[in-house]
């Protein structure tokens, strides 16, 4: 749904940049427990890891902000899948797909 860098909405995150990827669906739980979920954002076909995810929060109902460091360029309009590391996986939590869209109306 959105990309955020240094608290400001941006059109893209470049490789190596830290920021947040805001999605309307995720396989991550919001950080409410010690050691929160970690994992990756995967590109189309799961052939590419586009970002490392160090946690997620739920700033408002219905969206999740994923703290990331981009491995590749991520832009508004990209479709990504969320994928948990093996230690984070729980039954019934599979890979979830989300599309990054502008929040501007």
13-33 per-position pLDDT tens digit = 999 999 999 998 888 877 765
Tokens representing residue 60 in the block:
């408002």
Looking at residue 49, its pLDDT comes to 93
The pair of three-digit structure tokens given for residue 18, joined into one six-digit string: 């830290």
How confident is the model at residue 105, as a pLDDT? 35
The predicted structure's pLDDT at residue 37? 82
- The structure tokens 């700033």 sit at 59
Stretches in the chain below the pLDDT threshold 50: 91-94, 102-105
**What's the CA gap between 49 and 62, in Å, rounded?**
25
What integer pLDDT is reported at residue 7 of this predicted model?
93
Q: Does the predicted TM-score (pTM) go above 0.85? A: no
The pLDDT, as a whole number, for residue 46 is 78
As a whole number of angstroms, the longest Cα–Cα distance in the chain is: 38
Other CB atoms within 10 Å distance of the CB of residue 32: 8
How far is C-alpha 80 from the chain's CA centre?
Answer: 8
């Amino acid at each position: 749904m959105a990309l955020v860098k240094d608290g400001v909405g941006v059109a893209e995150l470049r490789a190596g940049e830290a920021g947040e990827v805001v999605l309307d669906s995720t396989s991550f739980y919001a950080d409410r427990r010690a050691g929160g979920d970690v994992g990756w954002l995967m590109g189309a076909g799961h052939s590419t890891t586009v970002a490392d995810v160090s946690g997620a929060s739920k700033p408002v109902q219905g969206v999740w902000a994923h703290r990331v460091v981009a491995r590749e360029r991520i832009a508004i309009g990209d479709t990504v899948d969320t994928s948990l590391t093996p230690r984070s996986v729980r039954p019934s939590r599979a890979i979830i797909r989300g599309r990054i869209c502008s929040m501007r109306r």
